[in-house]
Amino acid sequence: MKNRKLLMIPGPIEFEPEVLRAMGVQTASHVAPNFIKVFGNCLNAMKKVWLAPHGQPFIVSGSGTLAMDMAAANLIEHGDNALVISSGYFGDRFKDILDRYGANTTILSTEIGGDIALEIIERELKNKKYKLLTMTHVDTSTGVLINPEPIAALAKKYNVISVLDGVCSVAGEEIRQEEWGVDIVLTASQKAIGVPPGLALLVASQDAIDIWKGRKTPVSNYYADWQNWLPIMKAYQEGSPSYFGTPPVNLINALEKSLTLILEEGIPKRIKRHQKLAMDFRKAIQSIGLSILPKTDSIAANTLTAIYYPQGISGGDFLSGMTGNDIILAGGLHPKIKTTYFRVGHMGSVSENDLIAVLSALERVLYKLNYKFELGTSLRVFEEECVK
């Protein structure tokens, strides 16, 4: 029976059963009173999850890339200087997006798996007048975590709008948008937010909105233009319907359910759960001689772990062995080292049970592929961490 699989990729993830049920409910009219309430609840809950009480939330039909696109399209005008701090594939993508809207983009890339010193960023900010800076909280391609707080502070100091790509972090890593002064925090539904893919989510500060309002040129992307979406969001926040494009009613139903569960768990508790599971998982993985992609533990994400295949193990054999054990993992994504590592997502509804199942399947598959280690070690280590 190969029907109860465990989806442990960095999004989509295992969704809570009640979230999936909310997906399958008979679609309401997008202007029906009950849906207006659902949409409004989502917008309000986002402000709580993002810790941005004065932020302007946006919920738009699209993938996470649309959220990135929306930030760039609305804030960049031709010739603006933009600074991208990249820790992998998605940092690099942000440069492509910004360039598309006419930015002169400078990219500060970390080494693969490495960090970037604040001094380097500050030097760059001193060096040139930037309008906007982007950073990837957790790069889904590498599992590298950056610390947004001091970078956002630098951005503030140099009067630069800061954009945090939180696709792989919102609701799984600590984010205090308003306290840290991040202007835009964006994400997608299918990650730690816990809702099937199809929603681009973003909260913008008043400063970001003001800069958009002060544009001299129109936004060169119609669908992403806040001019279309801002009145809609404001209307639903105030309990009235409004129409630009038909909202994805079923996904928004599911979002309401998942945000409710998130707030019921409580943000600090939820972040701590992610943190502890990730740490324990890394120790377990390392105990059988595997290495993780992030160079130090302090820059390893809570939400996913990228792990190098051991010498002599074929990625294809390994991943198909895992699938044969009903555990779905993801291959590498960073173009330069794609075939040398795999990724395990651990966010949203994830529990110790899930990670134990992953570790055990991983041990059994590696064993069959003749990797040398003592069976059971990673499980023992994981348990020792759990009971601490």
26 binds a second copy (CB under 8 A): yes
CB of 124 to a second copy, least distance (A): 24
CB of 373 to a second copy, least distance (A): 11
Which secondary-structure segment (H or E) carries 133?
A: strand 132-136
- Distance CA(51)–CA(148), nearest Å, equals 14
143 binds a second copy (CB under 8 A): no
Q: Which is closer to a second copy, CB of 103 or CB of 144?
A: 103
Site for a second copy in 156-215 (CB under 8 A): 188, 190, 196-198
Q: Which is closer to a second copy, CB of 111 or CB of 374?
A: 374
HSE of 207 in the Cβ direction (CA atoms, 13 Å)? 16
8 Å CB contact between 301 and 143? yes
| Binds a second copy (CB under 8 A): choice among 41, 276, 357, 373 | 357
3-state SS record for 242-275: CCCCCCCHHHHHHHHHHHHHHHHHCHHHHHHHHH
CB of 209 to a second copy, least distance (A): 20
52 token code pair:
């941005």
7 binds a second copy (CB under 8 A): yes
Piece in contact with a second copy (CB under 8 A), picked from 7-15, 116-124, 202-210, 335-343 = 7-15
317 binds a second copy (CB under 8 A): no
Residues 328-352 as b or e (16 or more Cβ within 10 Å = b): bbbbbbbeebeeebbbbbbbbebeb
244 binds a second copy (CB under 8 A): yes
- Helix, strand, or coil here: 292? strand
267 binds a second copy (CB under 8 A): no
CB of 286 to a second copy, least distance (A): 15
Which secondary-structure segment (H or E) carries 344?
A: strand 341-345
User: What is the CA angle 15-20-26, rounded to 5?
Assistant: 165
| Binds a second copy (CB under 8 A): choice among 37, 48, 213, 368 | 368
Site for a second copy in 61-90 (CB under 8 A): 61-66, 69, 72-73
Q: How many residues bind a second copy (CB under 8 A)?
A: 98
261 binds a second copy (CB under 8 A): yes
Q: Which is closer to a second copy, CB of 121 or CB of 199?
A: 199
Site for a second copy in 204-233 (CB under 8 A): 218-225, 228
Nearest to 188 by CA among 208, 171, 206: 171
| Binds a second copy (CB under 8 A): choice among 79, 231, 239, 245 | 245
Question: Tell me, what amino acid is at 36?
Answer: I
373 binds a second copy (CB under 8 A): no
- Distance CA(167)–CA(304), nearest Å, equals 12
CB of 327 to a second copy, least distance (A): 7
219 phi and psi angles, rounded to 5 deg: -65, 125
57 binds a second copy (CB under 8 A): no
